[in-house]
Amino acid sequence: MARTGPDARPLEFQEWLVARSDASQHAGQSGSTRRLASALELAPGARVLDVGCGSAKSAVLVATEHEVLVIGLDRSGRSLGRARWRARRHSFTRGLPLVRADAMALPFRAGSFDAVLLEAVAYAAPLDAVLPEVARVLVPGGRIGLVDIARRPDHVPPAADFQRLLGERTLNLLTVSEWERVVRGAGFDVIRAEGFPIRQELATVVEELGDWLRSVPRQLAWLARSPEARRLFFANYRVGLDPGIEGCLLVACTPA
C-alpha cells in the first residue's frame, strides 16, 4: 500500500474524537489496556512505544502501573496536544516523551523498544507498512500488544457507517483469526489472541467516567456546531453497538 496519498493525512475523525474526549478511544478502554500490559510481561524500566497514543491515557496508565518508560507517538498535533495536557495533569515527574511521527516511518533506530502498543490504530492503517516498522524498532523477542476492533466470523458489518468514519481509507475489519494471520505474516510469533465484548465492565465505565464527563461540554459544542460531526459521532456509536463487532486483544513477539 502506498505511503503517500490519503493515508498520509491524519484521519480527521480520530483526531476530532481524541481532541474532544479525554476517555480512552479503544475497545475495552483502560480494562483492555491493563490486560494487554500484563500480557506484555513488562519488566520495570522496560522501554515501551505507544503508537497512535492519542491523548496518552494508556501511556500514562502503563508508565504508572508498570514503572516503565513509555514514549507516546502520534501523527496528529491535536492528539499530542491532549497528550501534553494529560502528562501535565498527572505531573509526570519523569516526563512523558511525545513524538509527532507516522507509524509507517518510525523515527527510531532498530531495536529501540522492548514492547510496542497499538491500540485502535491498526484498523485504519496500512498494515503492510506499519507492522514491519514496529518489528524493526523492537528488540529481538520484543513484544507487540494490539487492541482493536474485530468482526465476528460470518458477520457483515454496515459498510456505510465505517466508510463515513474512514473516508477513502482502507478498513482492516478482520476477525480475530485474521488479525492473528496478518501479524504472523509480518514475522511475529503470536502468543495470545482473543476476542472480547466491546461493551464495558462496570469498573472500567466508572474509572473512565471522570474523563468522559469532563469532555461533555467540548463534545456538545462540537456536535451543536457541525452536522458532519453529528453524523460521524453517531456512526461511531452505531459501530460500537453493533453485535457483530468485538474487541481483539493480541500479543505477539519478534523471533528471539
Give the interface with ligand SAM as residue ranges (CB under 6 A): 10-11, 14-15, 18, 24-26, 52-54, 57-58, 74-76, 79, 102-104, 119-121, 125
Burial of 149 (0-12, 13-18, 19+ CB in 10 A): buried
Minimum distance from residue 115 beta carbon to ligand SAM (Å): 14
The SS3 of residue 63 is helix
| 79/204 with CB nearer ligand SAM | 79
The residue at minimum Cβ distance from ligand SAM is 54
| 66/75 with CB nearer ligand SAM | 75
| 53/150 with CB nearer ligand SAM | 53
| 74/180 with CB nearer ligand SAM | 74
The number of CA neighbours under 13 Å toward the Cβ of 194 is 9
Q: Are 105 and 133 in contact (CB under 8 A)?
A: yes
Number of H-type helices and E-type strands within the chain = 9, 7
Q: Are 45 and 17 in contact (CB under 8 A)?
A: no
Minimum distance from residue 155 beta carbon to ligand SAM (Å): 21
DSSP letter for each residue of 140-175: EEEEEEEEEEEEPTT----HHHHHHHHTTSPP----
Phi first, then psi: what are they for 51, rounded to 5°? -85, 125
Minimum distance from residue 24 beta carbon to ligand SAM (Å): 4
| 11/235 with CB nearer ligand SAM | 11
**119: Cβ contacts below 8 Å, ≥ 6 apart:** 24, 26, 32, 33, 36, 50, 52, 58, 146, 147, 148
| 82/153 with CB nearer ligand SAM | 82
Sole residue written with cell 452505531: 238
Minimum distance from residue 178 beta carbon to ligand SAM (Å): 20
| 137/154 with CB nearer ligand SAM | 137
Minimum distance from residue 11 beta carbon to ligand SAM (Å): 5
Minimum distance from residue 14 beta carbon to ligand SAM (Å): 4
Paired with 51 in beta bridges are: 73, 118
Minimum distance from residue 154 beta carbon to ligand SAM (Å): 26
